[in-house]
Structures are given as structure tokens and as C-alpha cells.
């Protein structure tokens, strides 16, 4: 239940909710050795850190989550985490880096035909292109 709460909070960019629920969600995921929930908690932390402007911590959490999702071969989670890494790059005005990571996310979503996620990535790329 906590993993779902922090996942929704991350999608809604609700830093307060992430910080409220993530510590306990992460603690339980570690306690029970649930890699998927651990990675979801790490991604949520990454979003919270990005929103707070704490970019090194955000990158560390997101990259660790991505490595776990890759190990678990959870393609949708990989795409979502790549999208967050693109948002992190954009937050740091690294437009080329953001474009590259968004393209990787797009490939992951296209492979699954995840239409809403494909649209979200296209919108992010279009926003980048209009900033240039």
C-alpha cells in the first residue's frame, strides 16, 4: 500500500507526500527484500530531491532505481525512471542530456505500446524543442 502511495505522490509531484510515506515504504521494502518496492521508493525519493533542487541526491536515487528495474526487467518501470532522469536533466538546464534520456524512455514505452506514456514523453520532447 505504501509503495502505491509514494508512486502516486511521485507522479503528482507531491514532495510532501513522498517525504511523509517514502521512509516507511523503503524500510518495509528493505525488511522484506522486495526489490521492486525498494526501487519505487528510490524513484520517489529521486523525484522529491529533484523538486527540492537537490540534484546529486536525485540522480543517485534515480540511477539506483533504474539499475534495480533493469535487473528485474520491468520495462514500464524502466521507462518511467528514464523519464524522471530526463526531467532531472531538464531541471539542470541540460537540454541535450534530457532529450537523449527522454528518447530512451520513449523507446521503452513504444516497445510496450504504452500510449499515455508515449504522449507524455512526446510532450516533454516538444517542450525541449520549443526552448531551443
- The per-residue pLDDT for range 34-51, each reduced to its tens digit, is 999 999 999 999 999 999
CA-CA distance, 95 to 87, in Å (whole number)? Answer: 10
Residue 19: domain span? 1-61
Q: Do 90 and 125 share a domain, yes or no? A: yes
The pTM of the full predicted model, rounded to 2 decimals, is 0.94
Domain count, the chain: 2
Q: Do 53 and 87 share a domain, yes or no? A: no
Q: What is the pLDDT of residues 4-43, one digit of tens each?
A: 999 999 999 999 999 999 999 999 999 999 999 999 999 9
Q: Do 8 and 46 share a domain, yes or no? A: yes
Q: Do 4 and 46 share a domain, yes or no? A: yes
DSSP state letter for 13: T
Q: Do 81 and 127 share a domain, yes or no? A: yes
Read off the C-alpha cell for 74: 520491468
Amino acid at each position: 500500500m505504501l509503495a502505491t502511495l509514494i508512486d502516486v505522490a511521485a507522479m503528482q509531484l507531491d514532495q510532501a507526500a513522498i517525504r511523509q510515506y517514502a521512509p516507511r515504504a523503503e524500510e518495509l521494502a528493505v525488511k522484506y527484500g522486495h526489490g521492486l518496492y525498494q526501487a519505487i521508493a528510490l524513484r520517489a525519493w529521486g523525484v522529491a530531491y529533484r523538486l527540492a533542487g537537490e540534484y546529486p541526491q536525485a540522480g543517485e536515487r534515480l540511477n539506483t532505481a533504474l539499475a534495480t528495474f533493469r535487473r528485474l526487467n520491468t520495462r514500464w518501470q524502466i521507462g518511467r525512471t528514464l523519464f524522471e532522469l530526463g526531467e532531472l536533466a531538464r531541471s539542470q538546464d541540460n537540454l541535450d542530456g534530457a532529450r537523449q534520456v527522454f528518447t530512451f524512455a520513449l523507446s521503452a514505452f513504444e516497445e510496450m505500446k504504452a500510449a499515455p506514456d508515449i504522449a507524455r514523453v512526446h510532450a516533454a520532447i516538444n517542450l525541449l524543442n520549443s526552448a531551443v
